[in-house]
Every structure is written in C-alpha cells, then in structure tokens.
Amino acid sequence: ETGVTQTPRHLVMGMTNKKSLKCEQHLGHNAMYWYKQSAKKPLELMFVYSLEERVENNSVPSRFSPECPNSSHLFLHLHTLQPEDSALYLCASSQDRGHRVNQPQHFGDGTRLSIL
Amino acid sequence: QKEVEQNSGPLSVPEGAIASLNCTYSDRGSQSFFWYRQYSGKSPELIMSIYSNGDKEDGRFTAQLNKASQYVSLLIRDSQPSDSATYLCAVNDMRFGAGTRLTVKP
C-alpha cells in the first residue's frame, strides 16, 4: 500500500477514444504530479498541482488535460492520443511547504497505457 | 544539455560488494537531491534524500553530495541480489535522471 492509488492499472484505447486516469492520495499531501515514463527515457514531468492550482505544465500536448478537484484527487483526461503516447503514467504526491527545498514524492503504481 | 545525467548501465556487481551510482546535474542552484529505487514493473520508492554537502548514511546506503562539482552519488554496501533494480536520481524532486540499472549477482 503506497498511499497513492491509481486506476486503472492497465488501459488499452484507440486513437479516437476518450478516457480518464484517476489518482487518489491518502497521505494528507497538498501537491500532486503526473509523470510519463517511457522505456529507456527519464521520467517526464507533465503537470504539477499545488494546493489545487496548476503550477507547472511542461509543454504537454493539449490531448492531455489534467484536473484536480481537491488536494486528494487528480485526473488525467485523454483524448485523441497517438501511438507514441503509449507509456506508464505515474501519479505522485508530496507535501509542498512553500520552501525552496522540495520534499520527496510518493508514487502510485502507475497506469500502463497502450494506444492502438 | 540534460538537466540530470546518470550512467544508464547496466552496472553489475557481485553479492557483498559496494555498488557506486553517480549522478550529475546542471542547475547550480539546486537545493534538494533524492535517490529512488524502481523495481521492474513497480513505481519508484524513495531511498535517500540529501540537502547538504557531505555524506549521509542510512543503513547500507550512503548518499554523497558535492554542490561545487554538481555531483551526487549513492553507495550501497554489502550489495544483495534484492538490491537489483533501477536507481533514479532526482534534483529538486521533479527532474529525474534516466536511471542506472543495477544487477547484483549471487
């Protein structure tokens, strides 16, 4: 039990489908993150939410749309994805104390996404 | 220029040996540094965090930080087969290296 739960664990979708990834954290943290992990590439930061406000968007294509309704939940809405979007999508949370020194993150188990 | 660089490996060491994992970073103003371990098919888990120059020890793990050289390392003493995993270096906890794959052979 990591304290960060992601659903679904696996998702196969066509390029014209619309789906959503869900993340829930039970750690009382106030910051949540979406990462993309592709084979042999570094973890790519996609979005950061702190206190439910988006504070970072790393030039992610608009076919990925995040939503953070409260500090415990984070969604990633997917629409018209491309085959190169197939990857492991990881959610993480941390306690943002507003200082320059960042706090470590706790990761969910990820959603393995395959685009047909 | 990559922000965080690691040797992708694979790094192979015999059981009981010291494994040395290295990481360099480009942002001189970085304040926080983390090592995560990721087993195949699993999510990253935090092993060590370090914020000040010098060494920080936790059990068999020692993190070393040299801000002047923009270098952080992780030493694993008495390596065990269960240490076989990919080790990710993170700077300011949002910029990750590609990871070094470590194999500890019995």
Whether the predicted pLDDT of B77 surpasses 60: yes
3-state secondary structure at position A58: coil
Q: Does B49 touch chain A (CB under 8 A)?
A: yes
Chain B closest CA to A35's CA: distance in Å?
9
Peptide bond into A104 cis (omega under 30): no
Contacts of B2 in chain A (CB under 8 A): 42
Q: What is the pLDDT of residues B59-69, one digit of tens each?
A: 999 999 999 99
How close B36 comes to chain A (CA, Å)?
10
Residues B25, B29, B35, B38, Cα dihedral to 10°? -60
For residue B39, pLDDT beyond 90 = yes
CA–CA dist B106, B102 (Å, integer)? 13
Pick the residue of A1, A4, A37, A43 with the most B CBs within 10 A to test the interface with B by mutation. Answer: A43
Q: With an 8 Å Cβ cutoff, are B94 and A101 in contact?
A: no
What pLDDT tens digit does each residue of chain A (116 aa) get?
Answer: 569 999 999 999 988 889 999 999 999 999 999 999 998 788 899 999 987 777 777 789 999 999 999 999 999 999 999 999 999 999 999 987 665 567 889 999 999 999 98
Structure tokens at A61: 């294509």
Other beta carbons within 10 angstroms of residue B27's beta carbon come to 12
Cβ contacts of B31 on chain A, cutoff 8 Å:
100-102
Provide the 8-state DSSP code for A48.
E
Residues in A closer than 8 angstroms to B34, CB to CB, are 104
- A with B: how many residue pairs have Cβ under 8 Å apart? 47
The string of DSSP letters for B11-38 reads EEEETTSPEEEEEEES-TT---EEEEEE
A82, A17 Cβ separation under 8 angstroms = no
DSSP string, B33-73: EEEEEE-TTS--EEEEEE-SSEEEEETTEEEEEETTTTEEE
pLDDT at residue A101 in the model? 61
Average pLDDT over residues B11-16: 96
The tally of CA atoms less than 13 A away on the side-chain side of residue A103 is: 16
**How far A46 CA lies from chain B's nearest CA (Å)?**
10
